[in-house]
């Protein structure tokens, strides 16, 4: 299972999703886990995601309540779109997407990834 490790701000906005025990759910295959933070740009909610291994980041802009109810699907759709925009071959994208058949949520745990999330945020 892959984890999306959420900041407290995002967990609160998601309505406190069921959190996995991070010690039981370590994903060392492929791209692995992601970190997510909620931020506002022009008074609109956005989710910034950063990969734990590669520090690759992307933004899900203009997040609405219905997006938050189905955040796993929003993550997958936007990851796919961003990888296409990066110019990756469809075979590579399909292989990456197969890694994310099961997604869970956990609290953040890696301070260096959290620092990268903060550095990536627009001021």
The per-residue pLDDT for range 79-94, each reduced to its tens digit, is 999 999 999 999 999 9
Q: Per residue in 16-35, pLDDT tens?
A: 666 766 654 555 567 888 99
Residue (of 109, 88, 90) closest to 32 by Cα position? 109
Say whether pLDDT at 74 is over 80. Answer: yes
Q: Please give the model's pTM, rounded to 2 decimal places.
A: 0.82
What is the reported pLDDT for 108? 82
Q: Where are the domains of the chain?
A: 2-108
Query: What gap in Å lies between CA 51 and CA 58, rounded to an integer?
Result: 9
Name the residue with higher pLDDT: 43 or 108: 43
Strand ranges of the sheet holding 2-6, from the earlier edge strand across to the other edge: 57-60, 44-51, 34-41, 2-6, 103-107
Say whether pLDDT at 63 is over 60. Answer: yes
């Amino acid at each position: 299972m892959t984890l999306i490790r959420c900041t407290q701000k995002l967990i609160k906005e998601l309505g406190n999703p069921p959190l996995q025990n991070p010690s039981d759910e370590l994903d060392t295959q492929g791209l692995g886990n992601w970190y997510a933070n909620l931020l506002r740009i022009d008074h609109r909610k956005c989710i910034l995601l950063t990969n734990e291994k590669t520090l690759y980041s992307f933004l899900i802009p203009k997040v609405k309540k219905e997006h938050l109810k189905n955040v796993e699907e929003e993550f997958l759709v936007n990851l796919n779109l961003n990888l296409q925009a990066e110019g990756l071959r469809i075979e590579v994208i399909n292989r990456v997407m197969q890694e994310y058949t099961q997604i869970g949520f956990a609290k953040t745990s890696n301070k260096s990834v959290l620092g990268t999330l903060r550095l990536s945020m627009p001021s």
